[in-house]
């Protein structure tokens, strides 16, 4: 069952992180600024069981709020750090690249990363980032040519997405149709999520060059709307898109994404229903918070990770339904942001314990590799 493990090292100095604390009133201050230094609430979720002799290893450490993770064709990792650094993690080469124009404030900064489906031919890397312009924060996706371990030829793919200190979304991924999908949070403008002509509170779909594909439902980049702060994207083997979304301090959601559908925020939450709005396939309930990050399908099972939930969640999926969700590794590694399946089949998970809401150890933040077979049936 065990796999041979590559020994990775992380090299390069982490740039200086400038921390901004803004005074927010009432709800926003409590829910987003105060660090959450407590263990996750017990839930009715079944506790996952790890097999004896589990293959779990820390493959990178001393990172600074890693967010996005992807693999180069040779197996090296590219990891974004929210303050604005792109790191290549491998066996030999020491590389660290500072991405120009990134504004790290609150939940914003350098977030998602994706490689073009024809990366071997064009060397294109896509990055989602928060920037500061006259009038405030904006999010955008940029395309670069990754050559000689540097980012060259910066090209805007989509710009001027309204940003905020919170709810910036940030996950990007190419789907099986080779279109670029982008999660965008409501940026604290809840009404925008109900307007498919606005970018906030939506999942976007673009051609790799940034143009709007044929078949989009609104003749603009919006593919689905009514989202609060989605941060996980994953496709089944038959090409069905699923998304994981932060709820309003609880009632985090797992959704099956359909073209043009309205997922209800801020009108409905949890099990609530309304005409022409979609309720989630599953949610965390009113008393439990996953604060979910990334997601991936492995052998038909949906895996996603939790920040406040501090767990790897495994959802048993049949068609478009979930029969149960198990929580693995609860609190063992702290806050978890991203989960990606590596080229050899292992699951790679990034921690987020230095984001101001966790309790970092001396070696945080880390990337943990888990053999995907360690979870018992």
CATH code of the domain in which 315 resides: 2.120.10.30
Active site residues: 167
Question: Tens of pLDDT along 308-322?
Answer: 999 999 999 999 999
> What percent of the chain is predicted at pLDDT more than 90?
80
Residue 328, domain member (yes or no): yes
The reply to whether 188 falls in a domain is: yes
pLDDT tens digits, residue range 135-147? 799 999 999 999 9
Question: Which range of residues forms the domain containing residue 209?
Answer: 53-375
The pLDDT value given to residue 148: 86
Q: What is the domain count for the chain?
A: 1
- pLDDT of 376 > 70? The answer is no
SS (H, E, C) the chain: CCCCCCCCECCCCCCCCCCCCCCCCHHHHHHHHCCCCCCCCCCCCEECCECCCCCEEEEECCCCCEEEEEECCCCCEEEEECCCEEEEEECCCCEEEECCCCCCCCCCCEEEEEECCCHHHHCEEEEEEEEEECCEEEEEEEEEEEECCEEEEEEEEEEEEECCCCCCCCCEEECCCCCEEEEECCCCCHHHHHCCCCCCCEEEEECCCCCCCCCCCCCCCEEEECCCCEEEEEECCCCCEEEEECCCCCCCEEEECCCCCECCCCCCCCCCCCCCCCCCCEECCCCCCCCEEEEEEECCEEEEEECCCCCEEEEEEECCEEEEEEEECCCCCCCEEEEEECCCCCEEEEECCCCCCCCCCCCCCCEEEECCCCECC
Q: Is residue 194 part of a domain?
A: yes
Look at residue 322 and tell me if it is in a domain.
yes
Q: Is there a domain that residue 44 lies in? A: no
> pLDDT, tens digit, for every residue of 190-232?
999 999 999 999 999 999 999 999 999 999 999 999 999 999 9
Residue 11 belongs to a domain = no
User: Is the residue at 40 inside a domain?
Assistant: no
Residue at 58 is within a domain = yes
């Amino acid at each position: 069952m065990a796999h041979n493990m590559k020994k990775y090292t992380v090299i390069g100095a982490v740039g200086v992180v400038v921390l901004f604390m803004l005074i927010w009133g009432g709800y926003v201050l409590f829910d987003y600024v105060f660090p959450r230094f407590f263990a996750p609430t017990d839930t009715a979720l079944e506790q996952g069981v790890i097999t004896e002799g589990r293959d779990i290893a820390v493959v990178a450490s001393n990172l600074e709020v890693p967010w996005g993770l992807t693999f180069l064709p040779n197996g090296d990792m590219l990891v974004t750090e929210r303050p604005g650094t792109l790191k290549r993690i491998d066996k030999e080469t020491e590389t660290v690249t500072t991405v120009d124009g990134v504004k790290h404030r609150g939940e914003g900064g350098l977030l998602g990363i994706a490689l073009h489906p024809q990366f071997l031919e064009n060397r294109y890397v896509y990055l989602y980032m928060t920037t500061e312009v006259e009038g405030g924060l904006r999010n955008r996706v940029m395309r670069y040519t990754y050559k000689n371990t540097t980012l060259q030829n910066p090209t805007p793919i989509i710009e001027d997405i309204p940003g905020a200190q919170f709810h910036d979304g940030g996950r990007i991924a190419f789907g099986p149709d080779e279109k670029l999908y982008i999660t965008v949070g409501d940026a604290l403008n809840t009404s925008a999520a109900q307007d498919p002509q606005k970018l906030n509170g939506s999942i976007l779909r673009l051609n790799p060059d940034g143009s709007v594909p044929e078949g989009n439902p609104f003749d603009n980049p919006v593919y689905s709307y009514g989202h609060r702060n989605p941060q996980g994207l994953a496709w089944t083997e038959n090409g069905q898109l699923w998304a994981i979304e932060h709820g309003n301090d609880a009632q985090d959601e797992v959704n099956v994404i359909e073209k043009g559908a309205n997922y209800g925020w801020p009108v409905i939450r949890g099990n609530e229903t309304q005409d022409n709005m979609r309720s989630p396939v599953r949610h965390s309930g009113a008393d439990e918070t996953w604060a979910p990050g990334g997601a991936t399908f492995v052998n038909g099972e949906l895996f996603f990770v939790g920040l406040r939930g501090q767990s790897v969640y495994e959802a048993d999926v049949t068609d478009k339904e979930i029969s149960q969700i198990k929580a693995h590794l609860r609190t063992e590694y702290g806050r978890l942001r991203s989960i990606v399946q590596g080229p050899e089949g292992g699951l790679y998970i990034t921690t987020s314990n230095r984001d101001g809401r966790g309790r970092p150890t001396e070696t945080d933040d880390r990337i943990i590799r888990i053999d995907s077979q360690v979870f018992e049936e």
